[in-house]
Amino acid sequence: MKLSPTQLYRLSIAGRTASALSLVGVATIIATFTFSKDFRSPTHRIMLINSFYNLFDFIATMISVSGPEAGNNSALCRFQGFSLQMFPVADVLWTVAMTWDVVLVVFYHYEPRALRRLEKKYLAIITTLSFIPAFVFLFIHNSDKGPLYGSVEFWCSISPNWVLFRIIFYYAPIWFFILVVLVLYFVIAHEIFKLRHELMLTHTDCLVLSSATPSNESIERTNNDDMKSIETPIIRQQSAVSLRKFLLMPILFFLALLTTWVAPTINRIYAFKHPGEEPYPLMVSVAALGSLRGFWNGIIFVSMRSKGRR
């Protein structure tokens, strides 16, 4: 579908406006984490790390139509294509990591310090899985199809000539991991419902696991006092976790992710079935919604204050 200069201009305005809002969201996350100790939970920390990945993503979407206009073989187009391959995939993987933290808290009673020790592993795995394909694609070129990274009208990404690669290495893994997150949340919800009589929600909005390990004080009492002390062990004030921190915040983050990927996926399916006939309003929604994720992340980040809920 050949777009008119006016249509391309409107697409660039939509994409760049959304990208600017997302860059503000990224800056908000970094500044809030840096200057306030009330936003230092493990979930906040993962969102902070992810915000640096998002930064390159939104810089790439801010480039907008300038990438295709520079030409498929230009450094600008290749940088944009690389960024829009690596960092959106990494964003989804960080959502998986955040959800896995929820699993560890609900099923294994992990504490914040233990969760933080996993961050380096998350960083290594996510960077490796998202970087390698994006980097290799820079060197794929075919005399018939041209370079793998090329124009898709309003930015450079995997070229329509390489549509199979786009499905296998972009949309398929993204939706696979989205489904993984959905399954994990269903498992978490089932576990919470099953153990609803063993879980208590305190007035400080903390989820207390009654099966938590007794403290040293309770053990000493058991050894020295009568058997009644066994029935009332002192639960460590730490196995208590914030319901909002470990459940609501990742869910909102996941919903923001969904709003990002619904429109681009619908557009890609439509384009696959009807080559060259993508509806222009759908393309505008892709340019806008696909670049707005950082804005929603910023709102979610600052709305979930963690002071007093550690």
Question: Mean pLDDT, the chain, as a whole number?
Answer: 82
Q: Kindly report, residue by residue over 94-113, the tens digit of the pLDDT.
A: 999 999 998 998 888 888 88
The pLDDT value recorded for residue 273 is 79
Q: What is the pLDDT of residue 238?
A: 42
Given the structure tokens 């929820």, which residue do they identify? Answer: 102
Structure-block tokens of residue 173: 């893994």
Predicted local distance difference test score (pLDDT) of residue 189: 81
Summarize pLDDT for 65-80 with one digit per residue, the tens: 999 999 999 999 999 9
- % helix / strand / coil in the chain, to the nearest 5? 70, 5, 25
118 pLDDT higher than 90: yes
Residue 244 makes CB contacts below 8 A (sequence gap 6+) with 205, 304, 309
pLDDT of residue 210: 39
Q: What is the DSSP letter of 155?
A: S
- For the cut 90, the answer to whether the pLDDT of residue 122 exceeds it is yes
Ranges of each domain in the chain: 5-177+248-303
Give kind and range of the element (H or E) at residue 116. Answer: helix 112-117
Summarize the confidence of residues 178-195 as an average pLDDT: 84
Query: How far is 171 from 178, CA to CA, in rounded Å?
Result: 10
Topology of the domain comprising 5-177+248-303: Rhopdopsin 7-helix transmembrane proteins (1.20.1070)
The tokens for 74 are 């230009």
Q: Name the pLDDT band for 188 (thresholds 50, 70, 90).
A: confident
Rounded CA-CA distance 47/35 in Å is 16
Q: Is the pLDDT of residue 212 over 50?
A: no
Q: How far is CA 291 from CA 18, 221, 284, in A?
A: 5, 58, 11
pLDDT of residue 71: 94
Please give the pLDDT value at position 93. 96
User: In this predicted model, which residue has the larger pLDDT, 111 or 90?
Assistant: 90
Distance (Å, rounded) from C-alpha 165 to C-alpha 282?
22
The answer, yes or no, to whether residue 310 has pLDDT greater than 50, is no
Task: Identify residue 256 by its one-letter amino acid code.
Answer: A
Q: What would the pLDDT profile of 214-262 be if each residue is shown by its tens digit? A: 334 333 444 444 444 433 333 343 464 555 555 777 788 788 888 888 8
